Amino acid sequence: MADVTEIAPLWDFDDPAGSERRFRAAAESASGEERTIMLTQVARALGLQERYDDGHALLGSLAPHSPEATVRVGLERGRLLRSAGRPEEARPLFEAAARAARDAGLDALAVDALHMVALVVPPEEQLAVGEQALSLARGSDDPAARDWDASVLNNIGMVHADADDFEAALGSFQEALAARERIGADGRTREAWWMVAWALRNLGRSEEALAIQRRLRDEHEAAGTSDPYVDEELALLEGGE
């Protein structure tokens, strides 16, 4: 069966069309449930291109037989609905996917589904669902599930930020940063540092925020990249000097 080591390298969320092509090629060379799983990722890539009807049609053509394939079909159908602005219809699909994944011992998919539930429930329910996803990630024996803690902590931080509780948001973003540093992806780690600096600015700790954003700018320049969000924060922070 397909696992994260086979799926993750094919994804470039900044290039969904390229991702679609890679997953279609992977599906062509696969068979059975592995082919089905690769095609669920084609559907996800279609959704990221706002080709929702094509994504639903593809998922509707699949006949999953394994627990993993069944969970992925439901999960991706829910993502298509959410992306199309239909969160109320997506919620039961995400909840069913989370239950089925947990029952099958597919912890990484269960955390994924729960983190999607947290994105579609009303604001007053978001924190509880996020904490449920975090508890599952931290308690899992599956490294792929444990590595979900970074994304879940970032989302929890955003729930606090949306409630204008930037002290709690900062704590969550700092935990997310530590998780990103453990996982070891430079780009995502820089994003986590940005979130910490953003929370610091909103707490009035401008000097700390400015130091972080300047370092991020320097790292981007050294890597030959740029980030407009870093530039935007620097304009706000340096304008106040």
Give residue 4's pLDDT: 52
Give residue 193's pLDDT: 98
Of 234, 239, 192, 195, which is closest to residue 213 (Cα–Cα)?
Answer: 234
**In a structure prediction context, what are the per-residue pLDDT tens digits for the chain, which is 241 residues long?**
455 558 989 999 999 999 999 999 999 999 999 999 999 999 999 999 999 999 999 999 999 999 999 999 999 999 999 999 999 999 999 999 999 999 999 999 999 999 999 999 999 999 999 999 999 999 999 999 999 999 999 999 999 999 999 999 999 999 999 999 999 988 999 999 999 999 999 999 999 999 999 999 999 999 999 999 999 999 999 986 6
Give residue 1's pLDDT: 47
Distance CA 133, CA 14 (A): 25
Give residue 153's pLDDT: 98
Q: How many residues does the chain have?
A: 241
Domain boundaries, the chain: 1-141, 148-241
Give residue 5's pLDDT: 54
Give one word for 106, left, alpha or beta, with left for phi > 0 and alpha for psi -120 to 50. beta
Q: Note whether 146 and 123 are within 8 A (CB).
A: no
CATH topology of domain 148-241: 1.25.40
DSSP 8: G
Give one word for 48, left, alpha or beta, with left for phi > 0 and alpha for psi -120 to 50. alpha
Distance CA 85, CA 21 (A): 25
Task: Judge: domain 1-141, CATH 1.25.40.10.
Answer: yes
For residue 206, what are the contacts with CB-CB under 8 A and spacing of at least 6? 200, 237, 240
Rounded to 5°, angle at Cα 77 from 99 and 123: 65
* Equal CATH topology for 1-141 and 148-241: yes
Task: Name the pTM for this structure.
Answer: 0.92
